[in-house]
Structure 1
Amino acid sequence: MSFSDSDSSSNNGRASEYKIFRQTSRDRLLHEMLGSTKKGDSKSWKVLIMDKVTVKVMSHSCKMADITDQGISLVEDLFRRREPLPSMDAIYFIQPLKENVVMFLSDMSGREPLYRKAFVFFSSPIPKEFVNHIKSDTSVLPRIGALREMNLEYFPIETQAFITDHERALEDLFGDVENPRKFNACLNSMAIRIATVFASLKCPAEISPKIRR
């Protein structure tokens, strides 16, 4: 998919105002997300924990050196067995899925959490019931340093182009017409990821984006 202005002449006039697509994503990940955790007693090295989708989001825009420069000493997979580091803070960049929320709560609940404090950033809007589920665990709440929606779940591939990473979209959308479940799930996921593009670019009202398949 590509992103462009509806008016090519106005596009030329505003070219100097636009950042490279990947740079916009990089700035949000490094400064708006990772950089925002460097406050108070949380200026030391941290652990970054991601799932299989968000690690791809990160790798499309940032290098390991960029992440290290923001105070990350270790990058972990949410679903792999991890060593307890109770003296360190953790940053969770995860999708708002039930299994991810359950795993996060498992890490941070009880008398001996894996990390001292958790900064949680969701890649897309989180359902209200998941937020309530997190709030209901009174042992976890005091250990949460941030709980935010980043709205960044797309994959920049060129200066003004991105993908939603749905390799089976053709099959899911046009394959089994008698089973709408895959169709609806694929379409909904693509729509959410495209919406996070607009959230990241913060498109002015006078700009009409075009989406091309």
Structure 2
Amino acid sequence: MFLWVGSLRLGRKGWYRRHSPEVGWGDADREVAMTDTAAASRAPVHTSSAVDPSQLTALAEPIAAETGCALYDVQWRGGTLVVLATASEGGAIGVEALTKLSRRLSAALDAADLIDGRYVLEVSSPGLERSLRRPEHFAGAIGERAVIRTSGPLRRRIVGEILEADRSAVSIRIEEISGNAAAEQQIQPGAGQTLSVPFSDIAKARTTFEWGSPPNKGRGRQGR
């Protein structure tokens, strides 16, 4: 059984908007489907780390397709199962589609019994600034502006347009680049140059939205 712990009156189903600190309130607010139970205020939330995201993805993907959605990502965050979905035909995903997906998915999770104990289920769109975690995410963001942070001894922050992505690396046209002391001692490519970044070097990446910018060029090239 999944539950939602929050400020709404217990025993009520509804919607709320989650504030995005990067872009503020408004159209960028993510609509989140949720359900709460009478036990939410007193029941401990499941915190096991033994949950297999690949099993959850295999369960959620066909359900998303049946409800007219495209599964973007599934993440287990220590007691919260986050399911991100987009519209299968492109464009913005609506509240009705997210509600339908949430209800179908909750029933399937109960039947499959993949998660022991109580947990939170959060179903939402990825948002205007979405996390890029897999090669298909980068392929779907070609033509968009992104921020990439690398790991390892030469830690760098790279801002630019995603030009290409395959199974091993992403190619980005640099707008800004900075790094730690070790990286600054190396010869860095400059603005306007293209850099290939192996996925194995990427610690975190996301698209970045600029108000007043034209529609994202990468939307029609989703690699899912």
Q: Do both share a fold (TM > 0.5)? A: no
Greater per-residue strand proportion: 2
Pick 1 or 2: higher relative contact order, CA cutoff 8 A, min separation 6: 1
Greater per-residue helix proportion: 1
TM-score by length of 2: 0.23
